[in-house]
Structure 1
């Protein structure tokens, strides 16, 4: 019952914040200044609410993201912009029709915005988890769209989701993701098989430089 009430409260709060984002005057910054503003938030104040308020009130100018935009038809790309002990910030670049796997966030906070294009975010609930067997049941819950006017954050009570650039959107997308604290593995869930497991994470590029091992298609 308590979890259900907390979920209702979170959904209500998220709806209020999405409405707020439509009416708040957003200051447009270069990506460098935008990240510097994030880095100026003291670690003790780097909370879900404070960072969400920051990305509602400040947006990154799309034309300043070019250095951190690498696209590949093989898969979406993860491009590191900034990293310290408190948080990391990256772009994720999506060709038309690409989607992430269903994944978690290692109990860390995650915020997202999409200055270019739009994305669909599907949340899931994990039921019947058996860690010994690596099995579980994944149940779809909330679904919403994210674009330049509608930043979002991951629900700590349901931190498993999938991000999709649907073919019907007819355009590439670039999203900015903030993770606090940084993590280098996550759990990936195979809904059809009812299984899950750890997967290592890597960057396609770091600080604007492509990983030499990457082969973009």
Structure 2
């Protein structure tokens, strides 16, 4: 999957549904914030940030659920970015997390286009999308 990142655009904090995720930056710069899985408790706590990594053009990154969760974003306010993502196995849904509370929400992975054609919007049970811009 190729993702195009507008200035300041980022994903939610998300899981990878037990898949392996390989990411290569095709253009621009991307920042990855790594998080620990929230503790399974009734008390909602802010998520623990583990690391922040910056990737430039042609650099690669890897994550799976055993390494934790992450958010990817374009930190630039003037330049676009693009990245290639490979998932093995592919997945249809993941968990997105609220950084302030650790609360998770099931989210269906949606696509703007497939094979160069715009995909129709098909709302399902969950209309939240892990790869939409966040309002910070």
TM over 0.5: yes
Query: Which one is further off, 101-110 or 147-156?
Result: 147-156
Name the residue aligned to 1:143. Answer: 52
1:135–1:208 distance in 2 versus 1, CA, 3 Å? farther
2-structure distance, mates of 1:177, 1:112: 5
Provide the aligned length of Structure 1 versus Structure 2: 122
Q: CA deviation at 1:111?
A: 0.1
User: Structure 2 stretches of 5 or more lacking a match?
Assistant: 123-136
TM-score by length of 2: 0.80
1:149–1:104 distance in 2 versus 1, CA, 3 Å? same
CA RMSD of aligned residues (A): 2.1
User: Structure 1 stretches of 5 or more lacking a match?
Assistant: 1-89
Point out which structure has higher relative CO (alpha carbons under 8 A, 6+ apart): 2
1:135–1:107 distance in 2 versus 1, CA, 3 Å? farther
Name the residue aligned to 1:129. Answer: 40
Q: Relative to total residues, which structure has the larger helix share, 1 or 2?
A: 1
Higher radius of gyration, 1 or 2 = 1
Deviation above 4 Å: which 4+ runs of structure 1? Answer: 133-137
2-structure distance, mates of 1:172, 1:213: 25
